[in-house]
């Protein structure tokens, strides 16, 4: 075969191959165009909108519908989604949704929902109903993974969310303890690696929980992870009160409704925690670790609190000691130690391992129940020896030597937060008997006058109780009634004179 013939034969073969390749390319382009047209036609139909509405409704267990879609290629905008439900999620509303539908998952029969942005999400929750009202393994409005669609067509049968941003989240949740609210929180969500897992970041906004010990929280930032029906709080930072800071971690089992959160509180003032009456008596900076959980069915909070730079002022028992010891050292007590374990449950506060101390002067330790306004505390009070030397019998009958080189006495606190009571004063008076007036008249008069200035306008009640104890145990020296009348003027003029036992007989 000549060279020219071979050239013609090769040229013809190459031409055929090129034409075939070109034909395949053209057919591919036409096929892709047809496929894109079919996909686009379906996406722009009410069928796709109904599919997404059904999937969101199925996940959150609500009944809702997206408003009509406005398409720009594969990007879509809609004014919102409104739904109501009978389970945990009672209402769900999305405003200003923008998203894009990716076709990269067509081979897996998956619609990829990308770049989703929501201007506002409003969620109403009633956690008082059975936890089964929440879809298993799913956080409301955040599908854990692809959701099947019953269809025999070649179109994708699943939907995957590849992340979302929410400009403002508003939640109103009815809890067994009351209403909890979340407002103004910004949220960003993205896949968490494992199937059905999501990483969530939240910032800004306010959180108000129905727990008396927890104030309104101003969220700084939180990082969470959702997987298999559990929310793991990797970090949570919020401001509270004027200068308080709360940092926490924890987890929440959505299906079981159980949660546990632990963390630390710093930068809090005593006046932030105590009521108006006690905030005037206790000054200092509070720091506390804490744990909040409901594993037993009821929320329980506990921790250990320490107070630095503490000052205790106008505590009744300390004022009484200041009066009887003829010293002002107890009136304003600078605390070198102030700490306690605490527990809150069902509105009751229990303080245990409580210690208040001022180096070289006083040491108080014990425990106390605070039930509403009612106080019930049992303590040991230690004083430096010689503090009550001016009160006959105080350091021999009431206070006894003990550890730390102090003299100790039991102390019971009762009454209410606004009107606390103590039992030490009566025992001091009883132990001293009328020897208080036998040492030096001026000393006895000074003690009574101090009592009047710090115990109120009617100190006679304290003295009367002491006199009654003395009458029952030791007898009364004739003429003591006149002495007391002299100290208090006419405050006892209308009362019958105190008679010695011999005169009563």
pLDDT at 399 over 70: yes
In contact, 67 and 50? CB cutoff 8 Å: no
pTM above 0.85, yes or no: no
User: pLDDT, tens digit, for every residue of 108-142?
Assistant: 777 778 888 999 999 998 887 654 444 443 433 33
Give the contacts of 504 (CB within 8 A, at least 6 positions apart): none
pLDDT of residue 476: 34
353/27: higher pLDDT: 353
User: pLDDT, tens digit, for every residue of 303-332?
Assistant: 999 999 999 887 777 777 777 666 677 788
pLDDT at 272 over 60: yes
Give the contacts of 199 (CB within 8 A, at least 6 positions apart): 189, 190, 191, 192, 223, 224, 225
Percentage of the residues of the chain whose pLDDT score is greater than 70: 71
What is the Cα gyration radius of the chain?
39
pLDDT of residue 31: 43
In contact, 435 and 476? CB cutoff 8 Å: no
Q: Residues 209-228: what's their mean pLDDT?
A: 88
Please report, for residues 68, 321, 382, 384, 456, the alpha-carbon distance to residue 412 in angstroms, rounded to integers and kept in the order given.
71, 15, 14, 20, 21
Nearest to 158 by CA among 144, 141, 178, 172: 144
User: pLDDT, tens digit, for every residue of 287-296?
Assistant: 999 999 988 8
Q: What is the 3-state secondary structure (H, E, C) of 27-89?
A: HHHHHHHHHHHHHHHHHCCHHHHHHHHHHHHHHHCCEEEECCCEEECCEEEEEEEEEECCCCE
Q: Residues 34-62: what's their mean pLDDT?
A: 76
Q: Residues 186-209: what's their mean pLDDT?
A: 89
- Burial class, 278, CB count within 10 angstroms (exposed 0-12 / middle 13-18 / buried 19+): middle
C-alpha dihedral, 402 to 342 to 215 to 249, nearest 10°: 130
Q: What angle do CA 275, 278, 282 make, to 5 degrees?
A: 125
């Amino acid at each position: 075969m000549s060279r020219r013939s071979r050239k013609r034969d090769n040229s013809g073969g190459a031409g055929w191959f090129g034409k075939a390749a070109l034909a395949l390319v053209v057919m591919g382009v036409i096929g892709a165009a047809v496929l894109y047209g079919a996909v686009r036609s379906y996406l722009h139909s009410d069928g796709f909108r109904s599919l997404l509405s059904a999937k969101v409704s199925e996940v959150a267990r609500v009944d809702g519908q997206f408003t009509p879609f406005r398409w720009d290629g594969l990007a879509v905008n809609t004014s919102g989604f409104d739904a109501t439900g009978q389970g945990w999620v009672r209402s769900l509303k999305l405003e200003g949704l923008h998203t894009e539908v990716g076709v990269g998952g067509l081979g897996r029969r998956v619609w990829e929902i990308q770049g989703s942005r929501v201007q506002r999400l409003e969620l109403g929750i009633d956690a008082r109903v059975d936890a089964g009202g929440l879809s298993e393994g799913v956080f409301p409005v955040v599908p854990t993974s692809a959701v099947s669609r019953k269809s025999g067509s070649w179109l994708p049968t699943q939907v995957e969310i590849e992340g979302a941003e929410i400009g403002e989240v508003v939640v109103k949740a009815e809890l067994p303890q009351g209403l909890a609210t979340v407002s103004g929180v910004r949220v960003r969500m993205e896949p968490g690696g494992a199937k059905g897992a999501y990483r969530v970041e939240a910032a800004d906004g306010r959180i108000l929980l129905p727990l008396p010990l927890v104030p309104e929280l101003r969220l700084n930032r939180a990082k969470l992870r959702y997987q298999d029906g559990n929310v793991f709080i990797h970090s949570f930072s919020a401001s509270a009160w004027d200068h308080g800071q709360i940092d926490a971690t924890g987890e929440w089992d959505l299906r079981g409704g159980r949660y546990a959160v632990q963390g630390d509180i710093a930068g809090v003032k005593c006046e932030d925690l105590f009521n108006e009456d006690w905030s005037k008596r206790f000054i200092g900076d509070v720091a506390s670790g804490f744990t909040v959980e409901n594993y037993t069915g009821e929320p329980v909070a506990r921790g250990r609190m320490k107070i630095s730079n503490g000052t205790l002022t106008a505590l009744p028992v300390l004022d009484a000691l200041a009066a009887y010891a003829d010293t002002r050292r107890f009136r304003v007590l600078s605390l070198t130690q102030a700490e306690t374990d605490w527990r809150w449950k069902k509105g009751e506060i229990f303080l245990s391992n409580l210690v208040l101390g001022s180096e070289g002067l006083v040491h108080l330790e014990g425990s106390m129940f605070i039930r509403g306004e009612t106080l019930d505390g049992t303590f040991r009070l230690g004083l430096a020896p010689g503090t009550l030397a001016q009160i006959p019998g105080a350091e021999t009958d009431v206070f006894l030597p003990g550890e730390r080189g102090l003299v100790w006495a039991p102390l019971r606190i009762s009454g209410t937060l606004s009107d606390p009571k103590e039992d030490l004063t009566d025992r001091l008076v009883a132990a001293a008997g009328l020897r208080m007036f036998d040492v030096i008249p001026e000393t006895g008069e000074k003690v009574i006058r101090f009592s009047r200035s710090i115990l109120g306008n009617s100190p006679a009640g304290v003295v009367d109780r002491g006199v009654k104890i003395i009458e029952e145990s030791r007898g009364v020296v004739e003429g003591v009634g006149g002495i007391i009348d002299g100290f208090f003027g006419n405050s006892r003029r209308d009362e019958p004179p105190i008679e010695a036992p011999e005169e009563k007989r």
